[in-house]
Chains A and B, each alone.
Chain A
């Protein structure tokens, strides 16, 4: 019989995270089953193989790991084109937006990921404010608040709204909240259990669900190119069958489910929904950020407006298809 292929799968969240239980482990089980157990994952959660969350992409490109789940936004400047999806108020449904992201990369940003074999691109659900001492109702409440934010653009946007952004990867958020290093974090509900945010904060502020999310982050699930090329044809087929726009959409959907699971844990805290009227003010604040992103991209030799329009159109298209 052929030898069993083991894929070293590396990521930053703990093994108990919803991302692992709802998406990574099921994916592994699926490829094991479809390959008749000839291909399986060896999961290394919590950055067990060393390095930082920002280095995961490098690790899969260079073969330190065979498969990683990584956030392009953790490495600012590295993936400028996918940043379009991290601009404020872009996303409504994670499932549709994840599909749109896959198509967007396919159409515009393939060059950014040419060194790896992308298996899926996706986004997480609506960003939520989780704060320790004060409920966020309006941007005035953000004044002087130290907030953890994930990506370059979210950091900028939060600063424009008046808060002090502190950037750090998700695994450090719990520690920083417990010690009062930050007054809150902006993350989706899905992350809540993996850092126990519900036990560390008192307030959650969502944005009006009928409105686009005030931010989301992009993710890539990718395989080392050489590893993929080394697979026999039938195993390649298993990977092909478990990657692409469909998988991207499924992960987006899983993250919506993860948000619901995460939110269940926060019932003993106070939750507020920031209404459309307030968000309209925020959108005005976001306009210059979008404009500066476009001109930044133009400066780098891309057509910024075309990228932004492309992203919007794809999100609209897939959102319509899902409804």
Chain B
């Protein structure tokens, strides 16, 4: 993905691969969602026979898609920042601030990941399912967890690199 891929540390390459895989999984789910939706529209339009529960499948799928996409975004440092007020600072100071930003990101995602995990257990116990297909909701929660957890790992790694002043992943 980068031109200097040979110079990357093994762990960076490894994390990059994981983010890629996570994004690809999200992409696959997204394409399946699109396919299912189109099948439902065709069924509804031409055969008066849509897929009952297409909407809820999109809802469940969206959750998995978004969670799987989050680590890749952070890996590419594509979560937007306002650089306007800090352009005068030295590169080192900017990187240090970015390290603090990454630390807060890590804490945010860790909190979210933890709570979604708890929510997963909780909702499994209560037995909530989707309206028409009776699809257990806790599975959607569960499938969000790998993406969220990976985002935490990426955030943590970037925090360490940035605070130490080393060129981080996917700079």
Mutual binders A and B: yes
Interchain CA distance A155-B128 in the complex, whole Å: 16
Residue B20 at the A interface, CB < 8 A? no
Residue B82 at the A interface, CB < 8 A? no
Q: What is the chain B residue whose CB lies nearest that of A78?
A: B128
Interchain CA distance A322-B128 in the complex, whole Å: 35
Q: What is the chain B residue whose CB lies nearest that of A80?
A: B127
Which of B4-12, B30-38, B47-55 forms part of the interface with chain A? B47-55
Residue A289 at the B interface, CB < 8 A? no
A-contact bits for B5-35, CB 8 A (1 contact / 0 none): 0000000000000000000000000000000
Contacts of A152 in B (CB 8 A): 131-132
Contacts of B50 in A (CB 8 A): 164
Interchain CA distance A165-B52 in the complex, whole Å: 7
B56 touching A167, Cβ below 8 Å: yes
Name the one of A78, A144, A155, A159 contacting B127, with C-beta atoms under 8 angstroms.
A78
Closest Cβ of chain A to B125, distance in Å, is 10
A77 touching B128, Cβ below 8 Å: yes
Residue A7 at the B interface, CB < 8 A? no
Interface of B, secondary structure class, is loop
Q: How large is the interface on B (under 10, 10 to 19, 20 to 34, 35 or more residues)?
A: 10 to 19
B126 touching A144, Cβ below 8 Å: no
Residue A170 at the B interface, CB < 8 A? no
A77 touching B134, Cβ below 8 Å: yes
Name the one of B48, B55, B129 contacting A76, with C-beta atoms under 8 angstroms.
B129
8 A Cβ contacts from A106-163 to B: 143-144, 146, 151-152, 155-156, 159
Interchain CA distance A124-B122 in the complex, whole Å: 29
B44 touching A167, Cβ below 8 Å: no
Residue A22 at the B interface, CB < 8 A? no
B-contact bits for A67-98, CB 8 A (1 contact / 0 none): 00000000111100000000000000000000
Closest Cβ of chain A to B9, distance in Å, is 40
A-contact bits for B124-158, CB 8 A (1 contact / 0 none): 00111111101010000000000000000000000
Interchain CA distance A150-B15 in the complex, whole Å: 44
Interchain CA distance A75-B129 in the complex, whole Å: 7
Name the one of A76, A143, A146, A164 contacting B130, with C-beta atoms under 8 angstroms.
A76
Contacts of A5 in B (CB 8 A): none
How many residues on chain A are close to B (CB under 8 Å)?
Answer: 19
Contacts of B126 in A (CB 8 A): 75, 78
Closest Cβ of chain B to A86, distance in Å, is 12
A76 touching B131, Cβ below 8 Å: yes
Q: A77-B127, A164-B50, A164-B52 are in contact. Are A155 and B132 (CB under 8 A)?
A: yes
Q: What is the chain A residue whose CB lies nearest that of B123?
A: A58
Interchain CA distance A151-B130 in the complex, whole Å: 10
Interchain CA distance A151-B134 in the complex, whole Å: 12
B131 touching A167, Cβ below 8 Å: yes
Contacts of A54 in B (CB 8 A): 128
Closest Cβ of chain A to B120, distance in Å, is 13
Interchain CA distance A76-B60 in the complex, whole Å: 14
Contacts of A167 in B (CB 8 A): 55-56, 131-132
Interchain CA distance A146-B128 in the complex, whole Å: 25
Contacts of A151 in B (CB 8 A): 131
Contacts of B52 in A (CB 8 A): 159, 164-165
Name the one of A75, A78, A143, A166 contacting B55, with C-beta atoms under 8 angstroms.
A166
Interchain CA distance A69-B131 in the complex, whole Å: 20
Q: A159-B52, A164-B50, A167-B55 are in contact. Are A75 and B132 (CB under 8 A)?
A: no
Interchain CA distance A155-B131 in the complex, whole Å: 8
Which chain B residues have a beta carbon within 8 Å of chain A's beta carbons? 44, 48, 50, 52, 55-56, 122, 126-132, 134, 136
Which chain A residues have a beta carbon within 8 Å of chain B's beta carbons? 54, 58, 75-78, 143-144, 146, 151-152, 155-156, 159, 164-168
The 5 closest A-B pairs by CB, nearest first: A77-B129, A167-B131, A144-B48, A78-B128, A76-B131
15 new A-B contacts, CB < 8 A, other than A75-B128, A77-B127, A165-B132, are: A58-B122, A75-B126, A76-B128, A76-B130, A76-B134, A77-B129, A77-B136, A146-B44, A151-B131, A152-B131, A155-B131, A164-B44, A164-B52, A167-B55, A167-B132
A and B contact pairs by CB, cutoff 8 A, 6 listed? A76-B128, A77-B134, A78-B128, A144-B48, A155-B132, A167-B131
